[in-house]
Structure 1
Amino acid sequence: MVYQILVVEDQKEISDILMKYIAKEGYGVAVAGNGFEALELFGSQEFHLVLLDIMMPGISGFEVLKEIRKISDVPIIMLTAKQEEVDRLKGFETGADDYVIKPFSPRELMKRIQVFIKRIYKETDEIIYSFRDLKLYTKGMKLVKNNNEIVLTAAEYKLLFVLFKNKGQILTREQLIKLAYGSDYEGYDRNIDSFIKRIRQKIEDDPKNPQILITKYGAGYIFGGDEG
């Protein structure tokens, strides 16, 4: 199992150093240069830890942290040049697990990452995404509703994984295909409608009147209903 780490840092010299050290430790690594790119990456891949800079163009690290915490408890280490206590407290209150003040020692940061990975995941690489009475387990590729397991096909799991990670966002058929099945997908885009119908049968109390996975006519689909 290769643990995957997302680095969110707009300073290339810093992200390059982090990539080098993270790869050397045997972890997988992806880099986002801003908050919007970070949320897009997080919505399309599984990550076991996030290194998140606070001061970035576009949206701040605090906003990225807030959005990730809506769907995931993945450990997040904040990277910041600020030393004010109020900023650290804001991060912890929003859901940060740790803080590292710039300039920092890459070796020390790697040790912190190792501690988190070992403590959080131990013998398993399981990540759980939750919404209402639904829980999606990444290792077993299974769905649980009201503590009852619901069997998914591989195609259904891939699509539901993307929907969970992009809760509250309208996604077109083309976006769902790209995120769930990749650019090599050879089926028709209308096949997504069939997958959606089957998923609704499994997650909705009333599939004919969906409250969780909703169609936005002329736009696409949104997971999360009115809470998205």
Structure 2
Amino acid sequence: MKRVLVVDDEPQLLRALQINLRAEGYTVTVASNGTEALHLAASRPPDVLVLDLGLPDIDGTEVIRGIRGWSDMPIVVLSARHGSTDKVEALDAGADDYVTKPFGLDELLARLRAVERRSVHAAPGGIIDAGDLHIDLGASTVTRSGERIHLTPREWAVLQALVAHRGRLVTQRELLHSVWGPAYGEEAQYLRVYMAQLRRKLEPDPASPRHLITEAGRGYRFEAAEPTAAPSTAAEEPKADGPSTTPT
């Protein structure tokens, strides 16, 4: 039975989610503020965290950052904040998905199933060495210069999709469908956020990536071989005012 920690400061919504998720077979723990959420996530780690951003004591993005310091548990954000900047900030902090209020229970359940599949998905076997990177698809691990690199489930899913097709272009639509599901196809800002995060963690110089290459207006490519010269395509970083959905 899956364990879910639901964090929201609206008592009625918290109660409704508790009842409905239990009816779907989840073991539900609830919290109404960020401090309690951090305590419960550490003392009774859930299989998935459902988190509101507008908490009374600590903003939800800070809760995400706190948890990402030690755990890669899937995190689904629930928020009344509809702006692109808010979504990018939450994803950049380490959230795996973002659901805006009001929402339907069926949609939330589908998002939970999706992040659960990503977190337990058995990757195809294989070990790829790319410069100082050592990627073990079977074990779902990455090391850089011998040091283990912590990736969130969504970051790993993006990397896995690229590495599985190393050396060839993976279009934005293909990546979105593979990682987020068939309902996604135009949310290019999601990819920009996660590619920026992966480059910061895996590339010696994120501004001049050697392995995680952008093909402007088309998609991304993973190159295992070290280039003879730095590629001309620079890594794109999400802007503070929210990225455009125009492919880069």
TM-score in terms of structure 2 length: 0.48
The residue type equivalent to 1:97 in the other structure is D
Hey, what's the Cα distance between the residues in 2 that align with 1:89 and 1:117?
21
Q: Which letter does structure 2 place at the counterpart of 1:88?
A: K
Equivalent residue number for residue 45 of structure 1: 44
Change (3 A) 1:134 1:87: closer
**Partner in structure 2 of residue 154 of structure 1:** none
Q: SS at 1:13's partner residue?
A: helix
* Aligned counterpart, 1:27: 26
Quick check: 2:96–2:115 contact (8 Å CA) kept in 1?
no
Report the alpha carbon displacement of residue 133 of structure 1 after superposing the two structures with TM.
Answer: 6.5
Give 3-state SS (helix, strand or coil) of 1:117's partner: helix
CA–CA distance in structure 1, aligned partners of residues 121 and 75 of structure 2: 17
What's the offset of the Cα at 1:90?
A: 0.5
Residue in structure 2 matched with residue 207 of structure 1 by the alignment: none
User: 3-state SS of the aligned residue for 2:95?
Assistant: coil
Instruction: Output the amino acid matched with 1:66.
Output: R
State the 1:77 CA deviation.
0.7
- Distance in 2, Cα, partners of 1:17 & 1:101: 17
Does residue 91 of structure 2 align to residue 81 of structure 1?
A: no
Q: Which runs of 5+ in 1 are unaligned?
A: 136-228
Aligned twin of 1:65: 64
> What is the distance in 2 between the residues matched to 1:117 and 1:25?
14
- 1:67 Cα shift? 0.2
Note if 1:15 corresponds to 2:36: no
Q: Post-superposition shift, 1:35?
A: 0.1
**What is the number of equivalent residue pairs in this alignment?**
129
1:160-199 aligned at under 5 Å gives the runs none
> What letter matches 1:38 in structure 2?
A
8 A contact 1:80–1:101 mirrored in 2: yes
CA RMSD of superposed structures (Å):
2.4
Report the residue type matching 1:105 in the other structure: G
User: What are the Cα deviations for residues 93-141 of structure 1, in whole angstroms up to 9, with x where unaligned?
Assistant: 1111111111110121012112222332247xxxx9xxx9789xxxxxx
Displacement, 1:66?
0.5
How far apart in 2 are the matches of 1:122 and 1:95? 19
CA contact (8 A) 1:21 1:110 kept: no
Once residues 60 and 112 of structure 2 are traced to their aligned partners in structure 1, the CA distance between those partners, rounded to angstroms, is 19
Q: Write 1 or 2 for the structure with the bigger share of helix.
A: 1
Deviation readout 1:46-77 (Å, 9 max, x if unpaired): 21110010001111101100100001111111
Counterparts of 2:20 and 2:147, CA distance in 1: 39
1:90 aligns with 2:103: no
Asked if structure 2 preserves the Cα contact closer than 8 Å seen for 1:78 and 1:100, the reply is: yes
